[in-house]
Amino acid sequence: MEVALAIDKYKTNFKHGHKPWNAPASPEHRSWSAAKTRCFNPKNKNYSLYGGRGITMCDRWRINFTDFLADMGPRPKGTTLERINSDGDYEPGNCRWATMRSQNNNRRNNVKYDWYGELKTIAEIARDYDITYDALYGTVRCGHSVGAAVCRLKETKWRKANGLGLKRPNWRDLERDALATI
């Protein structure tokens, strides 16, 4: 019986060529297999974060790697399997190949801010405005709104770049001096 199962397994794996018998699996097959294990194997260390939360894989993908591969296509270098909706299942409309940066912005525990009509993380906003993450995060943690923090940090960066120092001008003195010259 075990020999028949092994031969059957060999034929199944050989069919798509991504997991030849007794050889390393392709990146696509490893991603598919890892996702399946996280969803369906209670002994997996991450099961509580996936299968234990009700995250599953559609039957079409769970049963057949070839269908998964047909829907997802080849895995681009530097990417892994990501669920677009982190509370959704592994299924064709909810998965994509994504970089680690994209995946880090798609975590359940991220705080997202409404930034000009888009939901963005502090890291995304910092990259958009060429500000360090630590500076923006620290300024927001001190109680500033994200918008005020971005403005403050951009001004500081501009003042440094233009040799004006970090001290803000006393506007009353500047106004008095300007009026005195008239």
Specify whether the CB–CB gap between 61 and 68 falls below 8 A: yes
Per the structure, how many domains does the chain have? 2
Residue 46 shares a structural domain with residue 20: yes
Residue partners of 63: CB distance under 8 A and separation at least 6: none
Provide mean pLDDT across the span 6-19: 49
Residue 90 shares a structural domain with residue 31: yes
Residue 23 shares a structural domain with residue 89: yes
Q: Could you tell me which residue, 87 or 159, shows the higher pLDDT? A: 87
- Whether the model pTM is above 0.95: no
What pLDDT, in 10s, does the model give residues 90-105? Answer: 999 999 999 999 888 8
Question: In the prediction, which pLDDT does 134 show?
Answer: 94
Place of tokens 């599953």: 56
Provide mean pLDDT across the span 69-96: 95
Question: In the prediction, which pLDDT does 169 show?
Answer: 59
Which residue range is the domain that position 3 belongs to? Answer: 1-109
Q: Of 84, 109, 134, which residue sits at a domain end?
A: 109
Question: In the prediction, which pLDDT does 11 show?
Answer: 46
Specify whether the CB–CB gap between 90 and 61 falls below 8 A: yes
> What is the dihedral angle through the alpha carbons of 37, 96, 105, 52, rounded to the nearest 10 degrees?
-30
Q: What span, in angstroms and rounded, lies between the C-alpha atoms of 132 and 135?
A: 5
pLDDT of residue 132 exceeding 60: yes
Specify whether the CB–CB gap between 131 and 156 falls below 8 A: no
What pLDDT, in 10s, does the model give residues 21-72? Answer: 666 788 999 999 999 999 999 999 999 999 999 999 999 999 999 999 999 9
Question: In the prediction, which pLDDT does 19 show?
Answer: 60
Token pair, residue 143, equals: 């109680």
Residue 144 shares a structural domain with residue 75: no
Residue 54 shares a structural domain with residue 126: no
